[in-house]
């Protein structure tokens, strides 16, 4: 028996995939109607978290944040047998992942954080990818259980909170990408370019293809051989801001990034590669165990 605590979009997708594979599944959700809806695929809705996990071979948690994970696991605690296995796919803080791993180990429960880069359809189709890190023995034990649920299971090593950290890093990049799209559309409106016309730009211009090389340049601190001087990038940012200001349209991302460019120019980097704005963050990071 497999239990899923949290049957929102992602948890429901996992339930459907597991049922397609023939696994018996119990489901619980704070809003009971979402769990009840899964009865049509043969999952068993349960009203109480402790009853949902009682006798389960493993429990998957798919909720919103640290507070929700802690609340649900505490409610389920009376149903956990010694050595119960909990696999948490929620996006949480690094501190929360470390604290929960240690706390539940002390209580005789194996807690493993395994956040995902998946949409609901990925969960239902067992595609996308899942992150895992921590105790190598636990990772080895649970990997064969998790691998069928995802297109790719990525083991990030023994650092307990590495999976939580990488999940936040990936989501930050997605947020930054959408912030960029938002400013692009805002600037396009200011210049009377339609959204459809903006989309046509990406039929010819694929900046995504340059991401690995651009990031490597930053990591290599190769700022003295510019492909685009910072002062010229700042000039273009000034032109963009002027177009937006002339139409009374606010940009959300550009002003903050322009301020960072100004600080780098003031520090003497005007003629360095424009990626020099990231130089303060590539000199090594603190190591956590």
- Cβ count within 10 A of residue 16: 21
- Level-2 CATH architecture, domain 2-157: 3-Layer(aba) Sandwich (3.40)
Sequence ranges of the domains in the chain: 2-157, 166-281
Stretches in the chain below the pLDDT threshold 50: 284-289
Q: What is the pLDDT of the chain when averaged over all its residues?
A: 96
- Cβ count within 10 A of residue 75: 17
In the chain, what is the straight-line distance between the N-terminal and C-terminal CA atoms, in Å? 34
Give the span between the Cα atoms of 47 and 50, in whole angstroms. 9
pLDDT by residue (tens digit) across 103-116?
Answer: 999 999 999 999 99
- Level-2 CATH architecture, domain 166-281: Orthogonal Bundle (1.10)
Give the span between the Cα atoms of 51 and 53, in whole angstroms. 6
pLDDT at 283: 67
Q: 286: exposed, middle or buried (C-beta count within 10 Å: 0-12, 13-18, 19+)?
A: exposed
- Cβ count within 10 A of residue 61: 26
pTM of the model: 0.93
pLDDT by residue (tens digit) across 178-203?
Answer: 999 999 999 999 999 999 999 999 99
């Amino acid at each position: 028996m497999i239990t899923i605590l949290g049957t929102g979009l992602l948890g429901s997708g996992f339930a459907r995939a597991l049922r397609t594979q023939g696994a018996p599944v119990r489901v619980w959700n704070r809003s009971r109607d979402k769990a009840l809806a899964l009865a049509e695929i043969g999952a068993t809705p349960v009203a109480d978290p402790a009853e949902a996990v009682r006798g389960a071979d493993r429990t998957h948690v798919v909720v919103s944040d640290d507070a929700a994970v802690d609340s649900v696991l505490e409610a389920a605690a009376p149903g956990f047998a010694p050595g119960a296995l909990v696999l948490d796919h929620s996006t949480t803080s690094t501190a929360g992942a470390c604290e929960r791993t240690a706390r539940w180990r002390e209580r005789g429960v194996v807690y493993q954080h395994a956040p995902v880069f998946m949409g609901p359809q990925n969960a239902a189709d067992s595609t996308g990818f899942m992150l895992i890190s921590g105790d190598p023995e636990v990772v080895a034990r649970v990997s064969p259980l998790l691998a069928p649920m995802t297109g790719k299971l990525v083991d990030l090593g023994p650092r307990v909170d590495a999976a939580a950290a990488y999940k936040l890093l990936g989501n930050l990049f997605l947020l930054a990408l959408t912030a960029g799209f938002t400013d692009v559309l805002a600037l396009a409106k200011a210049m009377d370019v339609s959204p459809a016309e903006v989309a046509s730009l990406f039929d010819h211009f694929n900046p995504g293809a340059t991401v690995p090389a651009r990031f490597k340049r930053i990591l290599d601190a190769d700022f003295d051989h510019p492909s685009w001087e910072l002062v010229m990038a700042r000039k273009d940012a000034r032109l963009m801001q002027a177009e937006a200001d002339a139409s009374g349209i606010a940009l959300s991302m550009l002003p903050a990034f322009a301020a960072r460019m100004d600080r780098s120019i003031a520090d003497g980097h005007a003629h360095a590669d424009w990626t020099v704005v990231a130089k303060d963050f590539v000199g090594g990071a603190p190591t956590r165990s």
